[in-house]
Structure 1
Amino acid sequence: MAVENLGIDGLTDAQVERSRKTNGANSFAYKETNGFLDALKGILKEPMILLLLVASSIYFISGNFGDGIFMVAAIVLVGSISLYQDSRSRKALEKLKNLTEPNCQVIRNGKVVEIPSEELVVGDSLIVEEGTMVPADGTIVHSNDFSVDESILTGESLSVFKDVSSTDNTIFSGTTVASGLAIAVVTAIGNHTQLGKIGNSLNTIEDEKTPLELQIANFVKQMALWGGLTFLLVWGINYFNSRDVLDSLLKALTLAMSILPEEIPVAFTTFMALGAWRLMKLGVVVKQMKTVETLGSATVICTDKTGTLTQNKMSLARLFSMKAARVVSLEESLNNEEKELITIAMWASEPIPFDPMETALHQAYGKHTDVDERPNYHMIHEYPLGGKPPMMTHVFENRAGQRIIAAKGAPEALIQGSHLSAEEKRSIYSTIEELGKQGFRLLGVGQALFEGNDFPQYQQDFKFEFKGLVAFYDPPKENIPQVLKDFNTAGINVKLVTGDNAATAVAIAKEIDFIGYDKCMSGDELMQLTDAELQERVTDTQVFSRMFPEAKLRIINALKVNNEVVAMTGDGVNDGPALKAAHIGIAMGKKGTEIAKQAASLILVDDDLSKMVDAIAMGRKIYTNLKKAIQYIISIHIPIILTVFIPLALRWSFPSIFSPSHVILLELIMGPTCSIIYENEPMEKNTMNKRPRPFTTTFFNFNELITSIVQGLIITLASLSVYQYAVAQSLDEDTTRTMVFMVLIVANIFLTLVNRSFYYSLWTTLRYKNNLVALIIGITIALTTSLLFVPPLTAFFEFSTLNVDQLFVCLLAGSISVLWYEVVKWGKRLGAKEN
């Protein structure tokens, strides 16, 4: 019974345009936001910007207009960089938001078309089906087996069955379809829907930060607090010694500015947002930024079979009629009993099919019937898919009062409800085993007789005649064996979780070289285990058959208790709880229901599992690069802090070796390195050959960052050694300052190059494809050259032009202070070869 048989033509294009002009778009519009102004306000609240404002004010007050103007220019430059990074992040996330906007099906011009939900208009004939979210309010004009979950509006957890004759025959925006299908005429959209009228409360809801964001924010706050305390201490000490308020304040500000690691939150936001954007280009839509970081930790992937490992084509391939007592292919000549089997299976399907198997049955009926009876019958009663094992029953009647009561479902369910002899049952089970071993998905088909309208409460109460089996074949995707190999190489365990029977699941698993295909457990067997037993069994079991929602959820929870980081693929309504419970819920973009997509944390646009290999690789790369960036930030901040603090605290010959202008100059050179160079770094070649990294609770692990601390201390030793060398050579303050500054610049350049990998050598990483490395380092060298050899700049920053010997000392100290780590990396590679 296709849509065209219902007499619903929907709106014409002209009517759609008129309705849109009158009623507007189907979107919620409450609080107007201005991304640029919000970002600007955020920047003005940043501690570093506040310190720069204070420093520039002091310079102007003290009459030092040159430094004051430089500080203002620095504020503009730092603000511009922050705005640029924020803009990149916002645009990336906006694209993701647009991509995750759901589509809907409507009837227009007599045809079913798919449109973005925002384009829905009042008067549209909207089609909603199991697993979708209702995008607008409407009145039902046709339905079958239709129930809807309205808990978002009513708080009632039980789904409500509705049809044309119901007292309440309306559907509401934001609710989700629990079962069946309905066609409704749209009566309200956007702010005018029931959900829209209460939607102003959304203004008061703030987006929650992820745990990693909170950890980074807390780290920066702690550093800011220490910076504030040090600022007050240094200000007090200097004022006590000099009695000069402004000079003491400037020296204290210099140290406070050197302590603030303001690049860390910028780097985190940039990496996560651009990482999500890069994943989107690969065909993976990430709904939450935190998922990008979690991807690299995945240790187990629980995947369903249909449409993930297989092509989801579900062609009707074999028939087994009880009367004919033979298994036949659809290409063979069918007798009347086999044609009758197809007919009964079709009547047991939804009148407007949306499941691939039901679509295949409708197509087979149309091909093998002489007279299409679908327009002559209408559904008078229905039993939704239910029970364990599951089945569904439909009751149709024509104008003459003739009835068809047809059922289909798991073969075991139909066998239980039919009168069959022991011999007949043996024949059926033998056929099920035979077809299952060949990888076919099987449905039992039955027919019942019933007079009157007092239908049984449960479909299982009908007395069915078992008509036979229909077998569908869904071939594996061609790339799946390679995908499984890639997961195995990356140290990720793949488990098959399917609703199919064990024989079918094992047959498909064997065909695709699924590791551990012979280690199988059924849903009923799983539910009989205690939690402790399941935690033990789930480790070794690779194939889970005849699964249902409660069983899937227990698998996920058992794996999580075993300290696994679990990814779970799903597409149906019943997959929602497991997708939500998994660390990484993965919904299918094409065949996935809206409920599955809502519950999931990422969506595979093309239902291609190989994209998860790419996504995990991207997650590992992003995490690794972010860690490199943060380790770089810490490594280079330590020498800046100590080079400012130690001469000041120990009252060396030139205690104020750096002013705020010098510190901000170093910050401007460092900023692009951490957030631009490292974000653009390619994935290291051994990334997907490693086991997943431990899913730690904090990013700032001392063991991970000890290298950065040591690197920072050795760079500090180099800069202060050159400081003392210059003093010992009786060089003046400007020359000493220039030499110390040059050591930090040289160390910064080499640190950028060396820290591109903590395993591979500098010579290897120089061949990495990242054009930004040469660009940023080139700009750094050009800027430094200008500071040394352009007299106005040299004089402004109180530098001096160095001679060849002095430059050589700076180059030698700066390079050695970093290049020592190449020996450590060589030791790592040597140890790896020996193992």
Structure 2
Amino acid sequence: MPSYNIPPDLIGLSAEELNASHSNYGFNEPAELKKGAWYTLLLDILKEPMLLLLIAVSIIYVIVGNYSEALFMLGAIIAVSGISFYQDSRSRKALEALEKLNEPLSTVVRQGKIMQIPTREIAVGDLCLIEEGKMINADGEIVYSSDFSVNEAAMTGETYSVFKSTDTEDKKVYSGTLVVSVMAVFRVEQIGSLTKLGKIGKSIHDIKEEASPLHLQITRFVKWMAAIGIAVFLLVWGYSFWLSRDIIQSLLTGLTLAMSILPEEIPVAFTTFMALGAWKLMQEGIIIKRSSVVETLGSTTVICTDKTGTITENSMQLKALYDYKTDRIFEGDAFDAPELSELIENAMWSSEPVPFDPMEKTIHRVYEETQAQDRPKDFRMIHEYPLEGKPPMMTHIFEDAAGTRIIAAKGAPEALLEVSNLSDSEKEKLRRKISDLGKQGYRLLGVGKAQFEGDSFPQRQQDFAFEFLGFTVFYDPPKPGIQQVFRQIYDAGIKVKVITGDNADTTNAIAKQAGIINDGMAVNGADVVQLPQDRLGVISRETTLFTRMFPEAKLATVNALKENGEVVAMLGDGVNDAPALKAAHIGVAMGNKGTEIAKAAAQIVITNDDLGKLITAIAAGRRIYANIKKAVQYIISIHIPIILTVSLPVLLNWIYPNIFTPVHVIFMELVMGPTCSIVYENEPMEKNTMRQKPRKMTETFLNIRELGISIIQGVAITAGVLFVYQYAVHQGQPEETTRAMVFTTMIFANVFLCLVNRSFVYSVFESMKNRNMLFPPPCHWRHLILTFRLLVRPRFCRFLPAE
């Protein structure tokens, strides 16, 4: 955060005043429903279909006088709700941790000290310090400013910046608007839902978030299974009653079958996988704002990345200065040459007085090191033209007490050439020089100056008659190891598009040094916005480098890629990246150098600006998607034998028709729930996952082959369980022993299925080498110990009333 010399009389709130303000006006957050307490969460869990079935069975057992079974079912209700409560609490805590980490910070003056606080803690009466590139987070009135301008497009729709100060007629600033230049201090008057933006945005909370394709597919599947469960429940209940004329027993049989069909573990697993996946990525420095984005990450087909600070170090080393008057290039050890004085001075004047940009910081440093006079203290800025134009430039106008005026401009070399008084031949000569330096990977800024009498300044800075002075030559080298990052991206079948405001020559040189594959010509932003939609679709598919891009061009490119069926991840850090970040399937903002508006528009924030972290996130998305599929296939496979073992003895009128009761089914549910949503979630990524092409977002979650495997597994387990059933009957075993043997076989099958479904690529022996801290051998031994107890104490399995 830059240091500012604010007036000493701006003290801010004291601790007592702050507490009083929070008591009277609350905190700076939108009016929305309070987060549910633990008992609200518990009540929601008790409304789930499985819990309602358990409660119904318990009531029936109480009615018929089987209090031991009713007590066991009560224990099952507590266990199932406890597991759900634990999983929901774990997911909620992970999401709350993400929200807290993602909360923006604001700068305030309190008790005479400048400090950063969470935005929600801004209080009415606070003195907020706002600076270039930051979002304003409350409404208030300016009490101090320095060359302050603000973009109020969020309020008015007007794209031009507005200069405001204590002397202007309008001294108000509003939440949701963006600071364009330098800084101001304002006194907070309204916060939260009482701000101008808050009043407009109240209706936003009524808008439901769009569900992801995977979530929709899973929801449809669960509803389909629930409908089948209801139909089969009614059928079995009626058929059982027709055979036995015992309404209570037939009702228990029908409820048992309904419990076995209902796949309530699937939505729980989905929510748990996504929330915990986002939480784990947070530990890697990748902040996921919306947990469902984790699913989309694994489908990424195109990464659109900025150049500066993402591919490069953003160090902006000043390699040379080109002086037009002498037609010479001066290297770093000759910056103190007298011939460069005018060029360096005007480069400094055209930069922000308190620089944020690395290039401007370097220019200020070179000015201080090479110029004897400290002229800035004698001048004040009287007018400013912000960075704009295609290609862009910016102009500052300074004046001292004697009326001496300085008009300095810098920007893209092409922009300065267009507005300079040079001949066409001189411009062409300079363009060749610019191209030669650009091909070496250098980034150039043109510098010019102008003269103007009077105070009626032109509306456009391009209307000044500029004298071209030369240009600065910066070099921003690629980050160490960036070649390996792009190699991993290409290995994963993902395409790369570079979208930058720099020129084509520099971008092409840096792209080659970074290992980006490019065989075509770069496309200019001005051309992008003029192309018809069908032609833009072709260009966006075939082109790798997009240069001299501005917000409209970036947005058009991202939308064209989406129209081509690509799943787009857009990386950006500036205000001009916000529309494209919002439009992309996955907007990724940089945490260090990213502006607040970029972070607000993005769904993901990378805290250390490392492009390699996006690869980590994509790998996590692929791992989580694969593990969800394993969990769902496991659920389908194990439900089939439960359903058939409950229904076939009844429908075929076997000797022991009620071999499984609700107690047996719920016991297996207690085993399956944690297995699919906790154990599989921790499965590591399989080999070669990041060497496969991205899956299509539109593809069916479980295809015919995968569903067929689950059905075959389920039928095979059913055959084994029913074989044991018939073997026990033919051996003359009583119902209790037969039940114990069938139940034991089912538990063993469950353990073996867990092992088999850990991988559909490698064998059980290979997949067992994968480290999973929640799937150690002791877990299997607990199943075996339980089975042993069931075998030696068969009365444990007598859950039906004795006849």
Residue 98 of structure 1 aligns with an amino acid whose one-letter code is: K
Residue 188 of structure 1 aligns with an amino acid whose one-letter code is: E
Deviation, 1:32, is 3.0
Per-residue displacement from partner, 1:347-399 (whole Å, max 9, x unpaired)? 11222222222222222222222222222222211212111111111111111
- 1:763 paired with 2:761, answer no
Match of 2:282 among 280, 299, 303: 280
- d(CA) in 2 for partners of 1:108, 1:463: 47
- Deviates further, 3-12 or 226-235: 3-12
- Deviates further, 371-380 or 504-513: 371-380
Structure 1's 198 and 580: CA in aligned 2 closer, same or farther, altered over 3 A? closer
Equivalent residue number for residue 11 of structure 2? 11
Per-residue displacement from partner, 1:478-529 (whole Å, max 9, x unpaired)? 0201101111111111221111111110111122222226642222343444
- d(CA) in 2 for partners of 1:199, 1:176: 14
Equivalent residue number for residue 534 of structure 1? 536
Deviation, 1:212, is 3.1
Residue 759 of structure 2 aligns with an amino acid whose one-letter code is: S
- Pairwise mapping of residues 323-472 of structure 1 onto structure 2 (< 5 A)? 323-472=325-474
Deviation, 1:278, is 0.6
Residue 687 of structure 1 aligns with an amino acid whose one-letter code is: T
Structure 1's 393 and 402: CA in aligned 2 closer, same or farther, altered over 3 A? same
Equivalent residue number for residue 787 of structure 1? 790
Equivalent residue number for residue 781 of structure 2? 778
Deviation, 1:230, is 1.6
- Pairwise mapping of residues 54-93 of structure 1 onto structure 2 (< 5 A)? 54-93=56-95
Per-residue displacement from partner, 1:174-220 (whole Å, max 9, x unpaired)? x1316324312232364454445677667756555444334323322
Deviation, 1:162, is 3.9
Indicate conservation of the 8 Å contact 1:128/1:177, yes or no. Answer: no
Indicate conservation of the 8 Å contact 1:235/1:248, yes or no. Answer: yes
Residue 20 of structure 2 aligns with an amino acid whose one-letter code is: T
- d(CA) in 2 for partners of 1:553, 1:145: 28
- 1:246 paired with 2:244, answer no
Indicate conservation of the 8 Å contact 2:29/2:120, yes or no. Answer: no
- Deviates further, 626-635 or 727-736: 727-736
Structure 1's 587 and 641: CA in aligned 2 closer, same or farther, altered over 3 A? same
Deviation, 1:330, is 2.9
Deviation, 1:409, is 1.0
Residue 636 of structure 2 aligns with an amino acid whose one-letter code is: I
Equivalent residue number for residue 484 of structure 1? 486
Equivalent residue number for residue 51 of structure 2? 49
- d(CA) in 2 for partners of 1:596, 1:517: 31
Deviation, 1:725, is 2.6
Per-residue displacement from partner, 1:325-347 (whole Å, max 9, x unpaired)? 21112332422331221211111
Structure 1's 229 and 166: CA in aligned 2 closer, same or farther, altered over 3 A? farther
Equivalent residue number for residue 135 of structure 1? 137
Indicate conservation of the 8 Å contact 2:736/2:794, yes or no. Answer: no
- 1:179 paired with 2:177, answer no
Equivalent residue number for residue 21 of structure 1? 19
Aligned residues: 793
Secondary structure of 1:79's partner? helix
- d(CA) in 2 for partners of 1:421, 1:198: 53
Match of 2:668 among 648, 666, 669: 666
Indicate conservation of the 8 Å contact 1:10/1:110, yes or no. Answer: yes
Residue 257 of structure 2 aligns with an amino acid whose one-letter code is: L
Deviation, 1:279, is 0.6
- d(CA) in 1 for partners of 2:786, 2:697: 41
- d(CA) in 2 for partners of 1:82, 1:401: 75
Match of 2:149 among 146, 154, 157: 146
Deviation, 1:137, is 2.0
Structure 1's 159 and 52: CA in aligned 2 closer, same or farther, altered over 3 A? farther
Equivalent residue number for residue 821 of structure 1? none
Deviation, 1:4, is 4.3
Secondary structure of 2:775's partner? helix
Structure 1's 686 and 319: CA in aligned 2 closer, same or farther, altered over 3 A? same
Equivalent residue number for residue 805 of structure 1? none
Indicate conservation of the 8 Å contact 2:301/2:694, yes or no. Answer: yes
CA RMSD of aligned residues (A): 2.4
Per-residue displacement from partner, 1:252-304 (whole Å, max 9, x unpaired)? 10000000001001101110000000111111111111110111111111111
Indicate conservation of the 8 Å contact 1:479/1:610, yes or no. Answer: no
- Structure 1, unmatched stretches of 5+, are 800-835
Structure 1's 226 and 323: CA in aligned 2 closer, same or farther, altered over 3 A? same
Per-residue displacement from partner, 1:795-819 (whole Å, max 9, x unpaired)? 55899xxxxxxxxxxxxxxxxxxxx
Equivalent residue number for residue 738 of structure 1? 740
- d(CA) in 1 for partners of 2:7, 2:433: 42
Per-residue displacement from partner, 1:61-98 (whole Å, max 9, x unpaired)? 10000110010000000000001001110111111001
Secondary structure of 2:430's partner? helix
- Deviates further, 775-784 or 436-445: 775-784
- d(CA) in 1 for partners of 2:470, 2:110: 39
- d(CA) in 2 for partners of 1:265, 1:593: 36
Structure 1's 207 and 531: CA in aligned 2 closer, same or farther, altered over 3 A? closer
- d(CA) in 1 for partners of 2:678, 2:504: 51
Per-residue displacement from partner, 1:814-835 (whole Å, max 9, x unpaired)? xxxxxxxxxxxxxxxxxxxxxx
Deviation, 1:422, is 3.7
Deviation, 1:9, is 7.3
- Structure 2, unmatched stretches of 5+, are none
Equivalent residue number for residue 38 of structure 2? 36
Secondary structure of 1:167's partner? coil
Secondary structure of 2:432's partner? helix
Residue 176 of structure 1 aligns with an amino acid whose one-letter code is: T
- Pairwise mapping of residues 512-591 of structure 1 onto structure 2 (< 5 A)? 512-516=514-518, 519-591=521-593
- Deviates further, 544-553 or 302-311: 544-553
Secondary structure of 2:448's partner? strand
- d(CA) in 1 for partners of 2:489, 2:123: 45
- d(CA) in 1 for partners of 2:374, 2:800: 90
Match of 1:749 among 751, 764, 768: 751
Indicate conservation of the 8 Å contact 2:571/2:587, yes or no. Answer: yes
- d(CA) in 2 for partners of 1:634, 1:220: 11
Per-residue displacement from partner, 1:116-156 (whole Å, max 9, x unpaired)? 323444555433345432122222221536222353xx564
Match of 2:231 among 221, 229, 232: 229
Equivalent residue number for residue 611 of structure 2? 609
Q: TM-score by structure 2 length? A: 0.94
- Pairwise mapping of residues 575-654 of structure 1 onto structure 2 (< 5 A)? 575-654=577-656
Percent sequence identity over aligned pairs? 52
Structure 1's 158 and 555: CA in aligned 2 closer, same or farther, altered over 3 A? closer
- Pairwise mapping of residues 805-820 of structure 1 onto structure 2 (< 5 A)? none
Match of 1:296 among 284, 295, 298: 298
- d(CA) in 1 for partners of 2:512, 2:50: 60
Indicate conservation of the 8 Å contact 1:506/1:518, yes or no. Answer: no
Indicate conservation of the 8 Å contact 1:101/1:116, yes or no. Answer: yes
- d(CA) in 2 for partners of 1:59, 1:312: 71
- d(CA) in 2 for partners of 1:555, 1:205: 28
Structure 1's 6 and 745: CA in aligned 2 closer, same or farther, altered over 3 A? closer
- d(CA) in 2 for partners of 1:371, 1:662: 89
Residue 322 of structure 2 aligns with an amino acid whose one-letter code is: F
Deviation, 1:697, is 5.3
- d(CA) in 1 for partners of 2:140, 2:375: 31
Structure 1's 134 and 704: CA in aligned 2 closer, same or farther, altered over 3 A? farther
Equivalent residue number for residue 659 of structure 2? 657
Deviation, 1:595, is 1.5
Deviation, 1:676, is 1.4
Equivalent residue number for residue 724 of structure 1? 726
Structure 1's 336 and 424: CA in aligned 2 closer, same or farther, altered over 3 A? farther
- Deviates further, 786-795 or 383-392: 786-795
